[in-house]
Amino acid sequence: MATTTSLRSRRSAAQLHALASVEREIRAQDHNGRRKYLRDFTQAYRSYESVLDRQQLNSLVHSADILLVGDYHALPASQRFAAALLEERAQPGDRPVILGVETIFSRDQHILDEWWRREIGEAELRQRIRFDVDWGYDWQPFYELLLTAREHTEGIYGLDCMPREDLRKIGARDRHAVHKIAELRQRHPNAVILALFGESHLAPGHLPRLLRAQLPGERPLTVLQNVDALYWRAAGEHQEHVEAVCVERDVVCVFNSTPLEKYENYRLCLARWNREEDEAPDAGPTIYNLIDGLLRFLDIDRYSSHNGNQPKFLVDLLPEIYCGTSEAHLRRLLSGTDGEAVLLKIEERGSAYLPDVNAFYVREFQMMYVAEEVARFLHHACRGLPRANTHSEKKENSGHFYCLSVEYALGYFGTRVLYPARPQKDESLAPAKLDLNQETLRIDGIKSEAMAQQVGYGLGNSLYDAYLEGRVTRGDLRRLFLAQLGEPGKAREICLELMNGVRRAKKKARAAAG
């Protein structure tokens, strides 16, 4: 069994490579990270007492009178978690729930009340609370939270005050927020209060300390999200995915995203704030950074001048990135390919890599799927672009099936090393279980890409498990990415190699158990 240290290292290596670049860029644009108020948060939560399962987390949440939920404003998953937590807590017959948010100034409560009474619509609410001017993060996940609260709670309240841009006044904003929460307790004496505030406000000496002083009889629970130090520490746990940890008696941390996803979303926000209003978000730096992170993880030199165990000048093979272009433009890019299948993929996942034109098309940035497409690109680039051997790979259905299976396997593996939070069995894995104990891959008559995806995802998942256990080295992985699938029988050989490797490991496990 892999040790805690080796598991942590293997799960984190690719992310850390990619994270180094984005953190440097963020520090160059945002100098507030050195402020003491923000350092108080990062230094406060470095370890945890225990891992929590879903039932244990729910028990702690249901025993609290006030939930202080940390929000990473640039991460949509953060607001969506708050919405899910709110809906789960607001059960019929249980205590009523109210929502307080940092996003809206208390001075604008009358505007929020008009929207609550359905006297104004979404567009007017957004404009009058000056969301884009005074807040500037993604509107849609926050509005989804408001809609959830309007359906399931007794009220929504703004908790913040000016000035947001001056961190020297941030302590005054904390005191203001606590007084507003105290007013909500008087107005709703029996309600559970869920207050969503930026994570740095939830350092022990900030909002939590002031709240205990103001409302000593309450039972508060601080619910952090995706704290970096806790995430990296939890990566060493032997279970597949840690959902939450108990930091201390009245503090928990949930994991619904990765540090890489957090900071890439923040970088996208910084890019949006710096561009002209009519420009589409630029996902190019994020995609190139993910490619570079995967290259570093595999120890592939993108500047190598010769083929062999390195692709020749991979730096010249980097893909073109299209963001926000029209569907007509996309259809031109897809000319001569299975365009409808790609359009469906983009509709479901938000992005796709188009190997025939060596380009990414991004309609909506979703880290999990972008990471998979990055791994697909690297697999194509390692085999050589432009793809002169595509025709030979498609000559026979079975050969094409094996090629697709290998491509999906490496794509899925690449997702897991760049985004370990991807569920082991997500909505793309259907049917739910793939039998890997058969003597050979029986694919007679199977021509569908859906089946290749099923086989590939199963092999990719097994490959990731083998990597975590140390049975597969990074050199082995590099060899798989560089394999020339155009050679007759090569793709089938790799599929069987992956399958037989899994079978051997299972036989060893059974022998050890015997």
106 vs 166: which has the higher pLDDT: 106
Rounded Cα–Cα distance for residues 193 and 331 (Å): 49
**Pairing relation of β-strands 320-323 and 251-254?**
unpaired
Kindly report the backbone phi and psi dihedral angles of residue 434, in degrees, each rounded to the nearest multiple of 5, phi listed first: -110, 125
Rounded Cα–Cα distance for residues 189 and 439 (Å): 66
Lowest mean pLDDT among 10-14, 53-57, 301-305, 429-433: 429-433
Cross-strand pairs, 36 = none
* DSSP annotation string for 33-79: GGSHHHHHHHHH-S--SEEE-HHHHHHHHHT-SEEEEEE-TT-HHHH
Helix (H) or strand (E) holding 284: helix 284-298
Rounded Cα–Cα distance for residues 451 and 163 (Å): 56
Rounded Cα–Cα distance for residues 112 and 118 (Å): 10
CA atoms within 13 A on the CB side of 424: 11
Pick from 265, 268, 256, 266: which is nearest to 227 by CA?
256
Instruction: Give the pLDDT of residue 279.
Output: 59
Lowest mean pLDDT among 21-25, 28-32, 297-301, 361-365: 28-32
* DSSP annotation string for 100-118: EEEEEEGGGHHHHHHHHTT
Instruction: Give the pLDDT of residue 33.
Output: 64
318-347 confidence digits (pLDDT tens): 898 888 666 677 777 777 666 777 888 888
Query: 491, 393 in Cβ contact below 8 A?
Result: yes
Query: 50, 246 in Cβ contact below 8 A?
Result: yes
Q: Which CATH architecture has domain 32-257?
A: 3-Layer(aba) Sandwich (3.40)
Residues composing the chain: 514
Q: Report whether the peptide linkage leading into residue 420 is cis, meaning its omega lies within 30 degrees of zero.
A: no
Whether residue 512 is predicted with pLDDT greater than 60 in this model: the reply is no
Helix pair 284-298, 4-29: axis angle to 10 deg = 150
Q: For 32, which DSSP code?
A: G
Structure tokens at 25: 């860029």
Handedness of CA 471, 473, 479, 482 (dihedral sign): positive
Instruction: Give the pLDDT of residue 333.
Output: 74
Rounded Cα–Cα distance for residues 300 and 477 (Å): 11
* pLDDT > 70 fraction of the chain, expressed in percent and rounded: 85
Helix (H) or strand (E) holding 89: helix 76-89
- Give residue 364's pLDDT band: very low, low, confident or very high (50, 70, 90): confident
Predicted model pTM: 0.81
Q: For 315, which DSSP code?
A: G
Cross-strand pairs, 354 = 359
Instruction: Give the pLDDT of residue 189.
Output: 96
Rounded Cα–Cα distance for residues 233 and 240 (Å): 14
Cα–Cα distances in angstroms (integers) from residue 379 to residues 33, 319, 404, 478, 509, in the given order: 37, 13, 11, 10, 31
Rounded Cα–Cα distance for residues 434 and 458 (Å): 6
Averaged pLDDT, 444-470: 81
Instruction: Give the pLDDT of residue 326.
Output: 67
Whether residue 433 is predicted with pLDDT greater than 50 in this model: the reply is no
Handedness of CA 371, 448, 402, 387 (dihedral sign): negative
Pick from 245, 201, 255: which is nearest to 81 by CA?
255
Cα–Cα distances in angstroms (integers) from residue 145 to residues 151, 260, 294, 463, 479, in the given order: 10, 24, 34, 38, 46
Averaged pLDDT, 268-286: 75
Q: Where in the chain is the domain with CATH 3.40.50.11550?
A: 32-257
